[in-house]
Structures are given as structure tokens and as C-alpha cells.
Amino acid sequence: MTRIGIVIGSTRPGRLGPQVAGWVHEVSARRSDAEFELVDLAEFRLPLFDQVVPPAMGGAGGPGAQAWVRTVESLDGFVFVTPEYNGQLPAALKNAIDFVHAGWADKAAGIVAYGVAGGAGSAAQLRQLCGLLGLADVPAQVSLHLATDFDDFRVFAPSASRARSLDELLDRVAGWTAALEHLRSARTATIA
């Protein structure tokens, strides 16, 4: 069965990511085309990128980094749930991405972004990174606005239209993940 990780892209106290990712997970649990699982960056406690030898050149990092790399490698696709901090991708998510190299390749990714401007800046930066890493980012996106999709800017309250957007995103991520399976298999066979 295809496994897709729902990555919570923020680690700060009081973050809204677990609420949004919980909603994504709840909606995805009704599907039969893939298994979806929550992946919380905060649980890995990654240091600020500190590798002398970068992952692209064989660097392995410490135990937390190695656990994160194994998690990414074990998944077939991703849904990134990302806030927008000062119009940018959160440092914790960019940091986590930097710890992995080959594990991103030939996988699909969807983006659920939230913030004052719907997470537009964060999503744009994440799309750029996807291209550099060999991740196929699907065109469907869910953009959540703090003023309209959260009660009092703190409690997530998605509308029915947001749920339809999420269904479309999940359709694309599951479909593209399945379509890329032959590339992942070929790469794995080459390595073995």
C-alpha cells in the first residue's frame, strides 16, 4: 500500500499545524487509495543543520537526523502542512528538508499552507525546493487564511469549500505517487 506522510512543518510552541494536519489526516483516513500518517517534525528534535559532510555527499548526521531520513525514505509521498512566518517558509521545515537528499526523489508532494495571506509565500518557496529535490509538487493546493479559517486566529474551523480543495489535493498526491512508483522502484533496484 502506498504510504503518504502528512508533515507538520512547524515546531514552535503554540503552533497551529497539529490542528490543520489532524484535519488532513481525518479527511485522508476515509480514502482507500493510500495510507496516510502524521509526521511531526517536533518529535525528531533536529538541530540546526550541522553536518560537516552534506547528505548529497554521504553525510549521515546524528541519531535524530538519521531517524528523520529513515522516515522520509520509508514514505512514498507527502502532504506538507506549512505555516508562513514573515512571508516565508518556516526555518524548522527548511532545516528538516536539508537533512535529506535522495529520500525526496521521485515522490509526489502536496501543500496545505496557512497564514495571514494563506501561506502563499511559504508554499511558493516549498514548491521551488520540491523542484530542486526531485519531488513532484502537485498543482492543487489548500490555502488557509488565519482571519477566515480559524476562530479568533487560534482554533481551526475549515469551511466545506476547503474540504473540497483538500479532496482534490489528496486525489492528485495519491495519483501522482502511484504514477511515480516505477521510478522509485527503478532507483531502488539500481542502488541494490
10-residue stretch averages of pLDDT, the chain, 192 residues long: 96 96 98 97 92 81 91 97 96 96 95 96 97 96 96 92 96 97 83 60
What pLDDT is recorded for position 190?
A: 67
Residue 85 DSSP symbol: B
Q: Are 39 and 5 in contact (CB under 8 A)?
A: yes
User: CA 132 to CA 140: how far, in whole Å?
Assistant: 19
What pLDDT is recorded for position 163?
A: 93
What pLDDT is recorded for position 55?
A: 83
DSSP code string of 92-104: HHHHHHHT-SGGG
Which residues partner with 3 through β-bridges?
35
Which of 47, 49, 44 is closest to 59 using CA atoms?
A: 49
Which of 115, 116, 106, 33 is closest to 81 using CA atoms?
A: 115
Q: What is the pTM for the complete model shown?
A: 0.95
- Which grid cell sits at 147? 482571519
What pLDDT is recorded for position 189?
A: 67
Which residues have C-beta within 8 Å of that of residue 133, sequence separation ≥ 6? 97, 101, 104, 105
**Domain limits for position 93:** 3-191
What pLDDT is recorded for position 56?
A: 81
Work out the number of other CB atoms within 10 angstroms of the CB of residue 146.
19
What pLDDT is recorded for position 24?
A: 98
What pLDDT is recorded for position 33?
A: 96
CATH number, domain containing residue 130? 3.40.50.360
Q: How many domains does the chain have?
A: 1
What pLDDT is recorded for position 191?
A: 62
